[in-house]
Structures are given as structure tokens and as C-alpha cells.
Chain A
Amino acid sequence: MNGTTLFINALALACLALGFMKDRAKTRQALKVSVKFFVRILPTMLAIILIIGLMSGFVPPKTISRVVGQEAGFIGVLTVAVLGAILQIPSLIAFPLAASLLKMGASLTSVAVFITTLTMIGFVMLPLEIRILGKRFTLLRNALSFAIAILIGLLMGVLL
């Protein structure tokens, strides 16, 4: 267990204790919600874990770095951005996936871009967002999110 793991678990326990002190019934309900979240995310989590295993066993790091690494250049970044906008991976699971890609030779920029478009843009959600928030708002928000995802990624590549 490293420091981050300890911190997260301690924080969860502290919040749980606080919740129990404030409102027992609500906290119990919250725990039920947590279990539901966990069950909901488990299949995807296990699938991604296997995919990570397969990638490290079968895909040579050279291939990864050619597709999403430094060598791929701006085309690589764009590809990753589009993938992030289309794919529907829960963001919590996206971080382990991103970490494994980084380890295998993906560039920092593409990993940051991937995470950002994945969370901010939902291709599948577009019709829903249009219906609730209007076409102009939705298209503008998604287009700008795409642009800032790339900017954030490029800046991170420069900064880190």
C-alpha cells in the first residue's frame, strides 16, 4: 500500500464515520448506493484489466509508441482525442488504462488528451444533450471541449 491508497481509504473511512454521526439512515442508504456503483462498474473494470494484461503481453511497446507516442505526432494526438470522445469507458477505469499506456510508451500529451475528451465529451450523449440544453449550446460546448482537451494535452507535454 502506498501513500495515496492509504489517503483515499482513510478519507473514505473518515467521511463514513462523519456520515454515521450525522445521519445513520442516510449513511446506510449511501452505502447501498456505493455497492450499486461498484457492481455497475465491476464488469467494465475486469474487462479493462484483462485488456491491459493482453496489451502488455502481446503488443510491443514500440507499437504503442508508434500509434500514440511521441513519434505519432499531431495525428496521433488527434486520433486519441477522437477515440476519447467516442469511447464510453467510465472515467475511473480510464486512469488505470491511461497509466498502463503511459508505461508502455504512449506520450504524456496523448494520455492527457484521452482522459480529457473521454470525460468531457460523450458522442453517445450528444442527442440527449441537444434535447435538454439546445443545439447551439451542445455543439459549441463539445467543440470547445475538444479543442481545450488538445490544448491541455499539448501544454502538459511541454510542462512535464
Chain B
Amino acid sequence: MRADGKVPKGPGKGAMKNQKKALLRDLAFLGAVVAITAVLLLVFPEKRAPVFSASKDYLVEMLLVMPAVMVLMGLFSVFVPDELIVKYLGKSSGLKGMLIAILIGTFPTGPLYVAFPIAASLLRKGARVASVVVFLSAWACIKIPQELVELQFLGLRFMVTRLALTIVFVLAMGLLMERILGRELRDVPGAPEPGRR
């Protein structure tokens, strides 16, 4: 997503255009990497074998998990719509609310910027700042498909330890931010307004 300030809430026309632009950027990046690889391997033919074998190992490993992960993400995104999230998070507060926030943050899919409007509408509906912070952080770094890929590549011990630490610190961060900003955030800009930066 570009930071051009024209970011729609839903998958509107602007979003489609942005996605196309992002895809082109990614393709250009891939092209550049392929070109660099080609040149390097032409100049250093003896490096071909190690480079290809390392790439092949990772390619195989990724192809074994990525389709399944994508299926999970697709299912989550269709069966758990944004409104459901707002409904469940909006009314609970206290520690229970924060735990629900973690849980719900792990379910859905999509990049972090998709969660910003959800967070804003939660705040406008009077949700606790702590819960919203926890929700955003969980959305960012504890999504289930993501944890599965972490498990595959970095192992159970790494994944579990990082997950546990993240949950603890994210809860603490939510409470700290609430301490600083106040329990209910009144100055959420909310939906894009003309004349507001």
C-alpha cells in the first residue's frame, strides 16, 4: 500500500489500482534479482551448484506449505468478516476483552493496514485503548497461518517462545499505552475527512 493518503476502506477501485501497482513493483523486484543472479552466475560459474541447491531446498520447502497456508487465509478472510470482529470486540472489556482481542487478532488475514480502519471503528465505539492495541499487535504478528510457517521454518521451540513472549509484551504494551493516552481515545480521526491530513 502506498502512503499517498488515498487508501479506501474496502476493496474499492483505488485499492485495486494500488494492488496492481504493488504487483508491478514486486515483478520489477523479481526481474532485478533474476538479472543480478544471472550476471553473478555467468561471472562465477563455480558458484552455480551451491546457489541452485540452496534455492531449490527452500523452493521445495515453501511450495510444500504455502498453498495450504493460502487456503487457510482465504477461508478465514471469507468466513470471518470485519463486522464480526467489531461485534465481538466492541462489547467486551477488562482482561477478558484483551484476551478476546488477541484471539480475534490471530484469526483473520490481510496486512496490517486492513486492521487500521477496524481499530478506528472499535475506538469510536468506545472500546478500551488497551484492547485495540492488543488487537492490532496480534493482527500484525500472531496470525495462525503465520505461526504455522514459523513452525515449519524455525521450529517449535523458537515459535512457542516467541509467541509466549509476544503475548506477554503486547498485553503490557496495551496497558501502558492506555495509561498514557487515556482509556477511551476521543481524538481518533476516523474515516477520511476532507481537509484533514
Roughly how many angstroms separate A40 CA and B22 CA in the complex, as a whole number?
A: 9
Roughly how many angstroms separate A89 CA and B30 CA in the complex, as a whole number?
A: 13
Does B189 belong to the interface (CB within 8 Å)? Answer: yes
Report chain A residues within 8 Å CB of B176.
144
**CB–CB A57/B50 < 8 A:** yes
**CB–CB B181/A140 < 8 A:** yes
Please classify how large the interface on chain A is, using the bins under 10, 10 to 19, 20 to 34, 35 or more.
Answer: 35 or more
Roughly how many angstroms separate A118 CA and B41 CA in the complex, as a whole number?
A: 30
Report chain A residues within 8 Å CB of B88.
none
Please classify how large the interface on chain B is, using the bins under 10, 10 to 19, 20 to 34, 35 or more.
Answer: 35 or more
Roughly how many angstroms separate A135 CA and B106 CA in the complex, as a whole number?
A: 25
**CB–CB B112/A49 < 8 A:** no
**CB–CB A92/B145 < 8 A:** yes
> Which residue of A12, A116, A125, A134 has the most chain B CB atoms within 10 A of its CB atom?
A12
Number of A-B contacts (CB under 8 A): 250
Does B51 belong to the interface (CB within 8 Å)? Answer: yes
Q: Which of B102-125 contact A (CB under 8 A)?
A: 109, 111-113, 116-117, 119-120, 123
A95-B153, A96-B62 known; A56 vs B51 contact (CB < 8 Å)? yes
**CB–CB A12/B68 < 8 A:** yes
Q: A30-B71, A47-B29 are in contact. List 11 more A-B contacts (CB 8 A).
A: A1-B64, A34-B70, A35-B70, A37-B109, A41-B70, A43-B29, A50-B55, A52-B54, A133-B119, A133-B188, A144-B176
Q: Which residues of chain B have a CB within 8 Å of any CB of chain A? A: 1-3, 5, 7, 19, 23, 26-27, 29-30, 33-34, 36-37, 40, 44, 47, 50-52, 54-55, 58-59, 61-62, 64-75, 77-79, 109, 111-113, 116-117, 119-120, 123, 129, 133, 136-137, 140-141, 145-146, 148-154, 157-158, 161-162, 165-166, 169-170, 172-173, 176-177, 180-181, 185, 187-190, 192, 196-197
Report 21 cross-chain contacts, Cβ distance below 8 Å, ordered by A residue.
A1-B64, A5-B65, A8-B69, A9-B65, A12-B71, A29-B78, A31-B71, A33-B74, A33-B77, A44-B26, A44-B30, A46-B30, A47-B26, A49-B62, A96-B58, A125-B3, A125-B113, A131-B5, A141-B136, A144-B173, A156-B158
